[in-house]
């Protein structure tokens, strides 16, 4: 007999995790899909949002600073703001240079954030992380189904609001300029558009959305640690965007479902069928599976499962230049 309550509890957990990842992918889509900015430090901006929100909302712990006790919503906003400000600074410093410098810089920023979280023990708790982070609907935690469904509704509302806002942004004059800069920066600049200003704004917006993703997940789980934000997170988010469809917000969300579904299914398969002494080695195969899917996608559908409509993109770019 199927355990309906267990199925609903796990299903809601899975969907919340997918949607939180989708938020990060939407942020990357603003940077790369819409503007062509190569960010390989996604995990760092997610971590920054998580830590700032956690520190703003938790009480002072035995091994970390805190005590502000701010509402969860304020913590989310502060996490997004912190990630956005750091993104704006990184963009202002590096976006005058070639795109490979941006990639190197963002990777360095992610490493710095990870090392800071690991070594600033009095602030971040070091390798022990931060626990007892307040969670939405905490009073229902003893009822997993209700708790999961309420959080699913909340995160789904956030994703829906972001999707609608980003779709409108893509069709606004600002979004058209971003596409024009991505397609032909010199032509757009010759018509009075400031490439640096627009790109810094896009990079900051994308970073803020990534920070929001980290903050939401931190409060949903109730615990964070530096090892939650290794480079594998960046790889997963990039895979989600490329498989789903770069430049398409629907594709970004679809990619999150597919890649996280593959990650979860492979994890359950390893736990069920692989001997305990081999599970640590077998876990690496999960990244291999994602890599294979990513490679197949690039060969068969280079623009992703729901790729950007190049005709619409071309018209948007022409509108911006006009």
What would the pLDDT profile of 189-213 be if each residue is shown by its tens digit?
Answer: 887 888 889 999 999 999 999 999 9
Q: Which candidate, 17, 55, 231, places its Cα nearest to that of 131?
A: 55
Looking up tokens 């999150």, which residue turns up? 256
Please tell me the number of Cα atoms within 13 Å of 62 on its side-chain side.
3
Tokens of 86: 């750091």
Tokens of 206: 């994308």
Please provide the size of the chain in residues. 322
**pLDDT value at position 108?**
94
Q: Is pTM beyond 0.95 here?
A: no
Contact residues for 47 (Cβ-Cβ < 8 A; gap 6+): 110, 113, 114, 117, 214, 224, 226, 228, 229
Distance CA 264, CA 261 (A): 5
| Alpha helices by DSSP H, the chain | 4-28, 42-57, 72-94, 99-119, 121-124, 144-171, 173-183, 185-190, 195-221, 231-244, 249-273, 279-282, 284-300, 310-321
**pLDDT value at position 98?**
65
Residues of the chain with pLDDT under 50: 312, 316-317, 320-322
CB 204 within 8 A of CB 91: yes
**pLDDT value at position 310?**
59
**pLDDT value at position 64?**
63
Backbone angles phi, psi at 97, to 5 degrees: -95, 180
Please tell me the number of Cα atoms within 13 Å of 321 on its side-chain side.
18
Q: Which candidate, 113, 109, 136, places its Cα nearest to that of 124?
A: 113
Please tell me the number of Cα atoms within 13 Å of 27 on its side-chain side.
32
**pLDDT value at position 2?**
52
């Amino acid at each position: 007999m199927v355990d309906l309550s267990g199925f609903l509890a796990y299903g809601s957990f899975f969907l919340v995790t997918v949607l939180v990842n989708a938020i990060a992918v939407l942020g990357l889509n603003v940077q790369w899909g819409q503007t062509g900015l190569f960010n390989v430090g996604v995990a760092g901006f997610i971590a920054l949002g998580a830590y700032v929100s956690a520190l703003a909302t938790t009480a002072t712990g035995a091994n970390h600073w805190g005590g502000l006790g701010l509402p969860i919503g304020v913590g989310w906003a502060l996490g997004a703001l912190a990630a956005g400000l750091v993104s704006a600074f990184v963009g202002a410093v590096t976006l005058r240079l070639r795109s490979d410098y941006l990639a190197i810089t963002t990777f360095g920023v992610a490493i710095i954030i990870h090392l800071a979280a690991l070594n600033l023990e009095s602030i971040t708790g070091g390798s022990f992380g931060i626990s007892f982070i307040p969670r939405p609907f905490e009073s229902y935690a003893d009822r997993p189904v209700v708790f999961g469904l309420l959080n699913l509704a909340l995160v789904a509302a956030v994703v829906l609001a972001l999707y609608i806002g980003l779709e409108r942004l893509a069709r606004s004059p600002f979004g058209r300029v971003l596409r024009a800069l991505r397609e032909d920066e010199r032509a757009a600049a010759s018509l009075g558009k400031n490439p640096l200003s627009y790109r810094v704004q896009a990079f900051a917006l994308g970073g803020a959305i990534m920070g929001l993703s980290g903050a939401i997940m931190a409060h949903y789980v109730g615990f964070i640690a530096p090892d939650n934000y290794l480079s594998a997170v960046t790889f997963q988010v990039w895979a989600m965007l490329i498989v789903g469809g770069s430049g398409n917000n629907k594709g970004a969300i679809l990619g999150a479902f597919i890649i996280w579904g593959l990650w979860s299914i492979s994890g359950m398969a390893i736990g069920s069928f692989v001997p305990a002494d081999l599970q640590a080695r077998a876990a690496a195969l999960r990244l291999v599976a994602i890599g294979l899917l990513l490679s197949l996608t690039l060969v068969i559908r280079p623009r992703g499962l729901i790729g950007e409509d190049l005709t619409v993109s071309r018209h948007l770019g022409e509108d911006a230049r006009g």
